[in-house]
């Protein structure tokens, strides 16, 4: 890891250069930083991506949602290709794409209601407009994973985003039923299984040639795009860029806040005199434990995850935070970052090999994560699988802390692709020539932990069972964006 000096290439220098450089060269810059692993780990990648996308949107000319979507999609494709294992980059891109779609749908959705009040001028137009909300619903109904854009349980952070944009346009509460599961009387049926029927309904009634329907083999995605193209022709104007920008700002705020929000659940999960086992260097976990330490006395056993993360682990234990996290939020006052021992929590550092032996005395395992996948499994620092298996055999609950931004809609088709291998010199030094010659050494940086080894996920939205994650994925990503 590069030292936190301002000159070294990394997140800080990238964010600084973003202020002056145009979007295109910034894209190249981030790609090279990702490729050279000068920005790595989920949070810095997420922050950098969000900042870059906001720059791209800011420099985007015009009010054409289709082109904006395509532009961001193209940037996203290049970024994810540069470093496919930093799944977070793709997540942020998908979140922004979903945001744009939502902004467009909100504005288009409000349209027919306005028009119906002013009266239907021409039959074709009114039919066209009237068909739109329904078309919208069929897009969503094509896929069960597409749900109401927001859930009641979500914290104020995200929901304020919606209500803000809603107030901006004074849009009537239509369509995607932001409010609840219960369909309102005006909203058309948003039912996935009915999709089998509702599509032909469109094809026969909304016979406007501008709206091609899926019988001719259109995917929901292209349908949506077509609709956006259609939208371009309409006179209705709304501040696409402004709304998307404010949405991205909410997203950035979420990135900033997620640790604190996760930590707010600490008291529900850490009880007095418990022995907590954790691993690797994670700001999320440290914040969580520090929050609990304010009111409770407990013991932390910290597996050091040798050889790839032990230095960072030691640093976290001594200073309370990671270097790259410090770089990400430079203007935080430092006294908030006390290490656990300063807060009066006894911390024992153990090598990974002792995990099983000590597990019988551990009350709870808290894992940090790199990426959470749609099936409830997770990719975490190497050693996580060992810890999870040991916990399983001792029936110790495993709790995983993860911001929603780490939750990916990607299904782990091939696990080997997700695991990154690091410098074997850290395991066996290269100067041990004889040994290196004769033995194959491998150094995986990450582990895949399957969903059935995890008991609970705590995200900034609350605690969820692994089997519920599909729902959170559905709330945050559009299925048409899953493949960038």
Partner 1 sequence: MNAAPSTSENPLPNFDIVGVYRRILNDDSELTMPVAAIEALVEAIAESSVSTVAETLALLEHLTKVLKNSIANPISLSAGTDLFQRYLITTLNRPGALNLGPSDDFKIIRNHLISNGNIFVERAKQSREKIASFGTSFIREGATILTNGGSRVVGALLRRAAESSTMRFKVIYVISPTSTDAEGGRKTVADLRAHNVPVAVIPDSAVAFSLGKVDMVIVGAEGVVENGGIISRLGTYQIGLLAKSKGKPFYVVAESHKFVRLYLLNQFDLPIDQRILEFSITDDENATEDEGVADLNSGSSTSNKPKNSVLTATNAVDFTPPDLISGIITESGVLTPSAVSEELIKIWF
Nearer to partner 1, 63 or 127 (CB): 127
Q: What is the dihedral of CA 385, 389, 390, 396, to 10 degrees?
A: 110
Closest among 35, 33, 72 to 55, alpha carbons compared: 72
Residue 153: CB minimum distance to partner 1, A: 15
Nearer to partner 1, 127 or 319 (CB): 127
Taking CB under 8 A as the criterion, the residue among 155, 191, 246, 319 binding partner 1 is 191
Looking at 42-50, 58-66, 84-92, 464-472, which segment touches partner 1 (CB under 8 A)?
A: 464-472
Is 117 among the residues that bind partner 1 (CB under 8 A)? no
Is 172 among the residues that bind partner 1 (CB under 8 A)? no
Taking CB under 8 A as the criterion, the residue among 327, 374, 398, 454 binding partner 1 is 374
Is 145 among the residues that bind partner 1 (CB under 8 A)? yes
Residue 211: CB minimum distance to partner 1, A: 12
Structural element, H or E, at residue 104: helix 87-118
Closest among 408, 320, 297 to 312, alpha carbons compared: 320
Is 144 among the residues that bind partner 1 (CB under 8 A)? yes
Taking CB under 8 A as the criterion, the residue among 53, 87, 142, 223 binding partner 1 is 142
**From CA 276, how far away is CA 293, in angstroms rounded?**
12
Secondary structure class of 52 (helix, strand, coil): helix
Subset of 200-219 contacting partner 1 (CB under 8 A): 200-201, 203-206, 214-215, 217
Looking at 70-78, 189-197, 230-238, 309-317, which segment touches partner 1 (CB under 8 A)?
A: 189-197
Task: Note whether 352 and 335 are within 8 A (CB).
Answer: no
* Exposed/middle/buried for residue 237 (C-beta within 10 Å: 0-12, 13-18, 19+): exposed
Applying CB under 8 A, what is the total number of residues that bind partner 1?
Answer: 40
Is 224 among the residues that bind partner 1 (CB under 8 A)? no
Looking at 187-195, 263-271, 291-299, 394-402, which segment touches partner 1 (CB under 8 A)?
A: 187-195
Taking CB under 8 A as the criterion, the residue among 375, 392, 424, 427 binding partner 1 is 375
Is 121 among the residues that bind partner 1 (CB under 8 A)? no
Please report which residue ranges of 283-397 form alpha helices under DSSP H: 283-293, 310-319, 323-328, 355-359, 384-393
Residue 140: CB minimum distance to partner 1, A: 10
Annotate each residue in 269-308 with x if it binds partner 1 (CB under 8 A) or - if it does not, as one string: ----------------------------------------
Looking at 100-108, 124-132, 272-280, 351-359, which segment touches partner 1 (CB under 8 A)?
A: 124-132
Q: For residue 122, give every residue at least 6 positions away whose Cβ sits within 8 Å of its Cβ, in sequence order, or none.
A: none
Is 143 among the residues that bind partner 1 (CB under 8 A)? yes
Task: Note whether 481 and 139 are within 8 A (CB).
Answer: no
Taking CB under 8 A as the criterion, the residue among 160, 179, 393, 467 binding partner 1 is 467
Burial code (b: 16+ CB inside 10 Å, e: under 16) for 205-219 equals ebeeeebbbbeeeee
Local structure of residue 307 (DSSP, 8 states): T
Is 136 among the residues that bind partner 1 (CB under 8 A)? no
Is 192 among the residues that bind partner 1 (CB under 8 A)? yes
Is 153 among the residues that bind partner 1 (CB under 8 A)? no
Four-residue CA torsion sign, 388, 288, 277, 369 = positive
Secondary structure class of 322 (helix, strand, coil): coil
Residue 241: CB minimum distance to partner 1, A: 31
Phi and psi at 237, nearest 5°, equal: -115, 135
Four-residue CA torsion sign, 280, 281, 283, 286 = positive
Which tokens hold the place of 233?
A: 């022709």
Q: What is the dihedral of CA 9, 10, 15, 17, to 10 degrees?
A: 10
Task: Note whether 344 and 297 are within 8 A (CB).
Answer: yes
Closest among 98, 70, 118 to 236, alpha carbons compared: 118
Subset of 408-427 contacting partner 1 (CB under 8 A): 411, 413-414
Residue 127: CB minimum distance to partner 1, A: 8
Subset of 83-102 contacting partner 1 (CB under 8 A): none
Task: Note whether 275 and 363 are within 8 A (CB).
Answer: yes
Beta bridge partners of 378: 372, 449
Is 115 among the residues that bind partner 1 (CB under 8 A)? no
Annotate each residue in 301-340 with x if it binds partner 1 (CB under 8 A) or - if it does not, as one string: ----------------------------------------
Q: Residues interacting with partner 1, by CB under 8 A?
A: 127, 130-131, 134, 142-145, 188-194, 196-197, 199-201, 203-206, 214-215, 217, 374-376, 411, 413-414, 467-471, 479, 482
């Amino acid at each position: 890891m590069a030292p936190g000096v301002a000159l070294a290439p990394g997140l800080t220098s990238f964010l600084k250069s973003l202020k002056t450089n145009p979007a295109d060269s910034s894209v190249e810059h981030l790609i090279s930083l990702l490729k050279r692993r000068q920005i790595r780990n989920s949070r810095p990648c997420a922050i950098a991506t969000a900042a870059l996308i906001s720059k791209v949107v800011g420099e985007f000319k015009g009010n054409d949602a289709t082109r904006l979507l395509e532009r961001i999609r193209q940037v996203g494709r290049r970024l994810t290709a540069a470093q496919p294992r930093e799944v977070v980059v793709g997540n942020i891109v998908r979140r922004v794409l979903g945001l744009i779609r939502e902004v467009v749908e909100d504005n288009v959705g409000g349209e027919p209601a306005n028009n119906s009040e002013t009266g239907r001028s021409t039959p074709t137009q009114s039919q066209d407009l009237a068909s739109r909300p329904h078309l919208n619903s069929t897009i969503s109904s094509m896929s069960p994973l597409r749900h109401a854009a927001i859930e009641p349980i979500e914290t104020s952070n995200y929901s304020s985003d919606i209500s803000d944009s809603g107030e901006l346009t004074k849009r009537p509460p239509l369509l995607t039923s932001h409010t609840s599961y219960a369909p309102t009387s005006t909203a058309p049926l948003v039912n996935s299984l009915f999709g089998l029927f509702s599509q032909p309904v469109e094809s026969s009634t909304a016979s406007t040639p501008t709206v091609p329907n899926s019988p001719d083999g259109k995917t929901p995605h292209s349908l949506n795009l077509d609709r956006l193209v259609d939208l371009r022709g309409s006179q209705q104007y709304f501040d696409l860029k402004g709304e998307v920008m404010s949405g991205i700002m909410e997203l950035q705020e979420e990135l900033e806040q997620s640790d604190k929000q996760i930590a707010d659940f600490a008291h529900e999960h850490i009880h007095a005199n418990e022995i907590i086992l954790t691993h690797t260097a994670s700001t999320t976990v440290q914040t969580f434990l520090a929050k609990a330490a304010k009111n409770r006395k407990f013991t932390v056993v910290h597996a050091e995850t040798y050889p790839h993360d032990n230095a960072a682990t030691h640093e976290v234990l001594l200073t309370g935070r990671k270097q790259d996290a410090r770089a990400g939020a430079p203007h935080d006052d430092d006294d908030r970052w006390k290490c656990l021992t300063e807060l009066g929590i006894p911390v024992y550092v153990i090598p990974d090999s002792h995990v099983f032996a000590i597990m019988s005395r551990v009350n709870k395992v808290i894992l940090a994560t790199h990426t959470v996948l749609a099936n409830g499994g997770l990719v975490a620092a190497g050693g996580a699988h060992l810890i999870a298996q040991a916990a399983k055999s001792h029936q110790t609950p495993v709790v995983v802390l993860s911001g929603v931004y780490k939750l990916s809609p990607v299904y782990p088709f091939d696990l080997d692709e997700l695991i990154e291998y690091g410098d074997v010199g850290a395991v066996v030094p290269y100067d041990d020539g004889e040994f290196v010659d004769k033995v194959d050494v491998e150094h995986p940086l990450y582990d895949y932990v399957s969903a059935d080894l995890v008991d609970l996920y705590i995200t900034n939205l609350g605690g969820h069972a692994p089997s519920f994650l599909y729902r959170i994925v559905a709330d945050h990503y559009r299925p048409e964006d899953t493949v960038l």
